[in-house]
């Protein structure tokens, strides 16, 4: 759905970031990075704008990871973001080799949701398209390939089909990989 949003924080970081694609489609080797293709187009995060969070409470464990790209030109910031949220019942399921799928019949998996946002922002106005795998016919997959709980870093793979509820546009997020992303525990 298209929404008017204000991103004043974008302008604090506009001068220090760019969306250059020097990866030539290769898997990232830099720490704290996330790459994917969005409808066949490359997405590669900057280390400074990639983060993970682990939330643990009595009812569920939730892991989120997000990466945001910001490119500015003549006072307009182009913003693109990929986020995933995985919620599950058992904290022990947060482990190397564990896969989570939105189509799984595993009752310990509560949800697996991917979100894709693309838009632009000025100092006074913003417009964004928000697409989610939680909308009808969306799907999401997430796998942990490496986990270091002492240094709080995680690597893995993901993919999802996100739908824009307002117009039905599809965004296929494929070949997703994240490498040694640092995560906070909340």
117-156: per-residue pLDDT in tens?
999 988 888 899 999 999 877 899 999 999 999 999 999 9
* Residue 175 to residue 173: CA distance in whole angstroms: 7
Q: Which stretch of DSSP H or E encloses residue 27?
A: none
The CA R_g of the chain, rounded to the nearest whole Å, is 16
- Nearest Cα neighbor of 80 from 71, 89, 93 is 71
Look at residue 11 and give its three-state secondary structure: helix
> CB within 8 A of 77, min separation 6: which ones?
7, 10, 11, 14, 70, 71, 120, 121, 122
* Residue 27 to residue 8: CA distance in whole angstroms: 32
Give per-residue pLDDT as tens, 34-75: 999 999 999 999 888 999 999 999 999 999 999 999 998 888
The answer to whether the CB of 179 falls within 8 A of the CB of 29 is: yes
> pTM for the whole thing?
0.82
């Amino acid at each position: 759905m298209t929404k008017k949003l204000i991103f004043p924080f974008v302008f604090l970081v506009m001068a220090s970031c760019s969306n250059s694609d020097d990866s030539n489609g290769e898997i990232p080797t830099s720490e704290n990075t996330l790459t994917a293709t969005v409808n066949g187009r490359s997405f590669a995060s900057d280390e400074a704008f990639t983060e993970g969070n682990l939330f643990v409470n009595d009812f569920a464990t939730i892991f989120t990871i997000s990466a945001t790209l910001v490119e500015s030109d003549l006072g307009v910031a182009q913003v693109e973001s990929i986020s995933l949220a995985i919620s599950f019942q058992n904290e022990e399921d947060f482990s190397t080799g564990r896969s989570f799928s939105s189509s799984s019949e595993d009752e310990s998996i509560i949800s697996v949701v991917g979100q894709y946002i693309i838009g632009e922002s000025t100092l006074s106005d913003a417009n964004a398209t928000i697409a989610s795998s939680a909308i009808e016919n969306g799907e999401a997959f997430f796998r942990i390939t490496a986990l270091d709980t002492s240094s709080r870093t995680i690597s893995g793979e993901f993919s999802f089909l996100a739908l824009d509820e307002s117009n039905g546009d599809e965004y296929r997020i494929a070949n997703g990989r994240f490498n040694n992303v640092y995560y906070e525990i909340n």
